[in-house]
Homo-oligomer: A and B are copies of this chain.
Amino acid sequence: MTRKPSGQRGPVDHDRREQIITAAHEHFRRYGYKKTTVADLAKAIGLSTAYLYKFFDSKKAIGEAICTLCHDKLLTDIQTVVREDITPPEKLRKTFQSLAHNGADLFIHDRKMHDIVASAIEEKWHAAIAFDQELSSIIRHIILEGREQGEFERKTPIDEACRAITLSLQPIRHPVLLEYNLETLDTDATMIANLVLRSLAP
């Protein structure tokens, strides 16, 4: 989890910080992120605003922490896929499906959290950039593994292959696009994976 250095504390305070994140998560889930002020949040949690500011220097810092939790869950799912005993093409396919499913799930069942993730991307929060980097590094790992095993072509510079695939994932993972294509998301994820795998053929 990424935090502002100014908000860091020892182990006891660490627990308190986690409590604040959990309570803020619940509050944002119910009332939304944009409408809530730090004062509203402090009141709902039963803490003073000043005390809350000891851990986070802004509402955005709390939003970032929650956003990172969402991303961590998604990354854990994808990392599980990467460690499975399956071929690199299957790993790519499952990564695409996982992104699409998680995104749709957040949108359908946890709409207000989906809105926070959308804000994070729109406003280029650190949490969103870190997630992009992590996802990109997972994709690079799968491509390199596929190249080693002779499953994927080796001519395209790895940076380019990786960037192009990351871009091609946008329609199934960007909150705005995902929302627009919700009905065809599963088929779209499969079709994009197929296109990417054809592009990787040796």
Which A residues fall within an 8 A CB radius of B?
121-122, 124, 153, 156, 160-161, 163-165, 167-168, 170-171, 174, 176-177, 180-181, 188, 191-192, 194-196, 198-201
A156 to chain B, nearest CB (A): 7
A137 to B192, CA, bound (A): 19
Residues of B close to A188: CB separation below 8 A: 163, 167
Q: What's the dominant secondary structure at chain A's contact region?
A: helix
| Copies of this chain, whole number | 2
User: A165, A196, A199, A201: which has the most chain B beta carbons within 10 Å?
Assistant: A199
Q: Which residue of B lies closest to A176 (CB)?
A: B176
Known: A198-B153, A199-B198. A163 touches B180 (CB 8 A): no
Q: Which residue of B lies closest to A121 (CB)?
A: B180
Residues of B close to A181: CB separation below 8 A: 167
A135 to B124, CA, bound (A): 30
